[in-house]
Amino acid sequence: MRCPEHYLQHPDQIKLELLPIAPTPQWSDPSLPLGLSMLSFRQYIPGKWLRITAPEVDPCLGISALVVECLPAPDHQGQFELKLAFPDQEQLFRARMLEQLCQICICQQDSPEEDPEKLALEWIESEAAHFPSDGL
């Protein structure tokens, strides 16, 4: 397995559920360039498979990911920086979709007086086409 070249940073404001997967998924595309990085209060062993969900955002959208690295986070006492890789294009697409939904939720939380649907459409129009490629 080759590690991703870049990692999309998951926002701390949106909590993710991470559950071990058994049996392990089939690894079909070891050359995907993008993974996911996030903070975790739990340390995971590299090589462990996890199922990622964001119940507050979309409880039906689940993603399979492989733990690439899990090291103490220097600026976050008692937390770990968890780096995840995806086994195929479909899981990467699902992760990208979930992260976009998380960004939309943050926009909506930051402007509770605004119409949530209008905010979502504005975010999609201005950000979705190049998300997460900015800075990669």
Q: What is the pLDDT of residue 135?
A: 44
Structure token pair of residue 129: 């086409």
Q: What is the pLDDT of residue 134?
A: 45
Contact 72, 41 (CB under 8 A): no
Q: What is the pLDDT of residue 40?
A: 95
Pairing of strands 6-9, 34-40: parallel
Tokens 């979309």, located at residue: 58
Structure token pair of residue 40: 């975790």
pTM: 0.85
List pLDDT tens digits, range 97-113: 899 999 999 999 999 89
Which segments in the chain show pLDDT lower than 70?
Answer: 1-2, 28-30, 133-136
